[in-house]
Chain A
Amino acid sequence: MRFRGKAKWALLVCLVMVFSIVAGCGGNGSTSDKSKDQDVIKLGFLGATTGSVANYGIPGQKGMKMAIEEVNKNGGVLGKQLEGVYQDNKGDSTEISTITTRYITRDKVAALVGDPCTGLTKIAAKIAQENKVVIFSAGATGNGVVEIGDYVFRNTLLDKFAVPSVVDWMVNTKGWKNIAVITSLNNDYSVSLTPVFKDAIDKQGGKIVIEESINDEETDFTAQITKVKKAKPDVLVFTGYYREAALLMNEAKKQGLDINLIGGDGLYGQDLAKLGGKAVEEKVIFYCGFSFSGDESNPVSEKFLADYKAKYNEEPDMFSAQYYDAIMILAKAMKDANSTDPSVYKNELAKLKDYPGVSGNTTFRADREPIKSPICLITVKDGKLTLLDKIPLNIE
């Protein structure tokens, strides 16, 4: 008898769960059903708001919403209001194809904005290119993205452009010639950034005295730092993310290794300062297309920082800035082309030159690759990410 009672409960719980799932789907769908296609310009958000890459998608979506609100407050685009369509692709490659197709066929979006990940962007870009809809990635830095076709754009600082200038600064301006390179082996970004750095170091006459590796999610880097210390480098190059950079520097400080660490914009995160404490102060330096603070010549970034803080009560990051810019750049191109038809406004978009965005100064090259110049070198000062120096981008 007791068992039966339990079984009934179990059944009831199952039913409740099923209903809530059905209700949840209904709720999501209804936003897009009230389609007044003629009055609004729809923009499809690509990104994850749950799952392992949600920390790129969530701030990205916030930046996108903020930009849409601002555009609409200032009269919209060509007399129409912008409307964002938001689906969570969970960072999943099947999910993003479904969502991209849905945005294009059902919502009839004028542009797709995202995804922050290179691999996912490529999947969506192929679908967008086939259907002749503009896709604007606010995060993809890997190779082979804009090559997919003339409807594909991105506004990120590309490592292959930035690294040679940064290494030039490191080796020739600072005179740090003996270099230790540390890679995080289970981090794709790090694994693909390391050869870019090594290549540039070779070309600029630097010398790699030791190569070490770590893994993301680990905490014990004692053995690696002991090894690095013995090789007596002038500087560390670490190609991974901020968490591990902070932990590496903590360990270096503990072992009495007083040294700078240079890395890419994977080190961009407020947690760098929080986790690293004194160990990262003016020691960790990374490149980025822009700096939120300490850069008087870029008032838009500072204004964005203040507005974002007022709206969301948190600090923006690289993704919120890039999604924000993506919307603004798209709106500008539509206005300039006097059309919301992707096959028309994409030509205006490709002509973008010296656009002063919150994520830096952007120009599209003839092959649509973004050039962000100058590059900002950022460090931690008094627990805050602050501009250290600006260097021009030299591309052969």
Chain B
Amino acid sequence: MIWQQLLNGLTLGSTYALIALGYTMVYGIIQLINFAHGEIYMIGAFVGLFLVVNTGLNIGVALLGAMAFCMVLGMLVELIAYRPLRGRASRLSGIISAIGVSIFLSTLMVLIAQTNTRRYPDIFNIQTFQVGDLQVSSLQVIILVVATLLMIGLQLLVQKTRVGKAMRACSQDLEAAYLMGINVNRIISFTFAIGSALAAAGGVMVGIYYNAVWPYMGTMAGLKAFAAAILGGIGSIPGAMIGGLTLGVLEILGVAFLSSSYKDAIAFGILILVLIIRPQGIMGQKITKKV
């Protein structure tokens, strides 16, 4: 049973990881905790659902459509709610603004779609494979593969391309990057776009996997992913992946061997422990600030 539970945990964890990446990328560059990120994930799930149900698009195309929509949405949010505050007000204003955006987006979705939970139609003929003692559903394989591909793609983008180099430069020192002729605003915008697209992919996959899409799904998922990002070391991309997977597995094992009442307690207990014992997280670097 432990292997089965580990597989369950990895599937859950990879969706956390996809959301955590958005948090960590944005934080890495502008030190903003984008609390609206969970809502982007929720809207991604709804856009995917809308495309599948109303236009009859293939699920792969719907996934790309949701990612594209959220890219634009993420950039818009940054442009409207964060950019005007940047550099002018304290960092706290950015966080408050993010909370505002988060409430705005979820209530907007309540207005549009009501609070009912919806499901994706049965698009896949879900098959279950028996591997030894292990039951593997085709959906789990798809989620793990898509999540892995997206994460590899992101890693390549950041490490091997010019934009990636600019992103890394910005995260090291925003002002220096600006002085070197990097269009900082465009890079930040791009970072929001990529992070939001990953969240949307997570949203669509979670929607299909758990058969549940509703306007408040982003709140808890966002908080969990935030905990995962902290666990991995906020600002670190590989850290977000490891943090997400670890959190997913620990949560599932907690339910398996303790009780489901501890599920959220485990997630946030880890968050608190990490902040006390190793504030920089698993992969984060310790930054000594010169005062």
Chain A residues in contact with chain B, CB under 8 A?
A: 185, 212-215, 217-220, 222-224, 226-227, 230, 243, 246-247, 250-251, 253-256, 271, 274-275, 277-278
Contacts and interface: CB of A to CB of B under 8 A. Distances in A.
A247 B217 CA distance: 14
A247 B214 CA distance: 13
Interface in B175-223: 206, 210-212, 216-217, 220
Contact of B210 (A185, A213, A247): A247
A253 B126 CA distance: 9
B128 A217 contact: no
Interface string B51-86: 000000000000000000000000000000000000
Interface stretch (B20-28, B95-103, B116-124, B239-247): B116-124
A51 to B, nearest CB: 11
A220 B5 CA distance: 12
Dominant secondary structure of chain B at its interface with chain A = helix
Given A247-B212, A256-B128, A271 B256 contact: no
Contacts of A230: 1
B210 A224 contact: no
Contacts of A213: 259-261
Contacts, number: 82
A214 B4 CA distance: 19
B168 interface: no
Given A223-B256, A250-B210, A256-B128, 14 more contacts: A217-B220, A220-B12, A222-B8, A224-B255, A226-B5, A226-B256, A243-B117, A247-B211, A254-B139, A255-B135, A256-B135, A274-B118, A275-B118, A278-B122
- Size category of the binding interface on chain B: 20 to 34
A251 B119 CA distance: 13
Nearest to A215: B260
19 contacts: A213-B261, A214-B260, A215-B264, A217-B220, A218-B263, A222-B5, A222-B8, A223-B5, A223-B9, A223-B256, A223-B260, A226-B1, A226-B256, A246-B211, A250-B119, A271-B116, A275-B119, A277-B121, A278-B122
Contacts of B255: 223-224, 227
Contact of B122 (A215, A271, A277): A277
Contacts of B260: 185, 212-215, 223-224
Contact of B256 (A185, A214, A227, A277): A227
A250 B1 contact: no
B54 to A, nearest CB: 16
A275 B261 contact: no
A274 B252 contact: no
Given A219-B212, A223-B5, A254 B261 contact: no
The 4 lowest CB-CB distance pairs between A and B, nearest first, are A222-B8, A223-B255, A219-B210, A223-B252
A219 B261 contact: no
B1 A255 contact: no
A223 B10 CA distance: 12
A277 B1 contact: no
A275 B116 CA distance: 10
